[in-house]
Amino acid sequence: MNRRHRSTGSTTTWDTVPADPGPCRWHLPEADVADEDDLVALGADLEPSTLITAYCHGLFPMPVSKREIGWFSPNPRGIIPVDGLRVSRSLRQSMKRYTVTVDQSFREVMTACGNPDRPHGWINGQFIDAYTHLHELGWAHSVECRGDDGELVGGLYGVRINRFFAGESMFSTQRDASKVALVHLVDLLLASGTELLDVQWHTEHLDSLGAIAIPRHDYLQRLAHAVGTLR
């Protein structure tokens, strides 16, 4: 598929080896012990070693209170097949209107995703600091969508481990801007040999882009293959 859209910014971070996060000091439970709300455990921290180990075990964090972190493992799990992204005709037109950059404004993208005016917002300062640190170590990445004046109008961020990418959140202040960022992300993932794009929960919005829901045990098998020796 030939996707024509303007792109700037370096993508060398996709080829470099992230810094060693060190050993995790926590014993993380298995992902298949989640309760009916997909919650596996409470506590721990957001240190790089904890985050990377958790993602390799199929877990991801969200705050459940001002002070407590919850670790989740949805069943079923939402993924977007990297060769199955659905790009509509209108989205193709939108792709011509924006410039896309990569890893140029990670903290700004995450802060916009955490805008408290957005419904169901959960990204707080603790998470922004933790994932920005993960970005500085080479594990977390952002894709930015910019208008004609260079203003940030959409984007997404997530965590990449070997051939696995965990999509965390996206935002848009102009039509289709986050979707354009997603198209560019998938192009990067295809070029780098990534085989699993996790979107956590399957939603109607993501379904329109080609997302599917798979059983947890299927997801964990795919994850183990994608992260390889880090599992």
DSSP symbols for 30-85:
PGGG--TTSEEEE-----HHHHHHHHHTT-EEEESSSS-EEEE--SSEEE--TT--
pLDDT at 181 over 80: yes
Residue 127 CB neighbour total at 10 angstroms: 20
Integer Cα distance of 151 and 158 in angstroms:
21
Architecture of the domain delimited by 6-16+77-230: 3-Layer(aba) Sandwich (3.40)
pLDDT at 11 over 60: no
pLDDT tens figures, 73-87: 999 999 999 999 999
Among 62, 74, 71, 78, residue whose Cα is nearest residue 29: 71
pTM of the model: 0.92
Residue 3: the pLDDT is 39
**Are 159 and 146 in contact, with CB atoms under 8 Å apart?**
no
pLDDT at 226 over 50: yes
Residue 150 CB neighbour total at 10 angstroms: 11
pLDDT tens figures, 84-120: 999 999 999 999 999 999 999 999 999 999 988 877 7
Amino acid identity of 115?
N
Domain residue limits, the chain: 6-16+77-230, 31-72
**Residue linked to tokens 């992204």:** 85
**Span 130-137, average pLDDT:** 98
Percent of the chain with pLDDT over 90: 81
Residue 5: the pLDDT is 42
pLDDT at 4 over 60: no
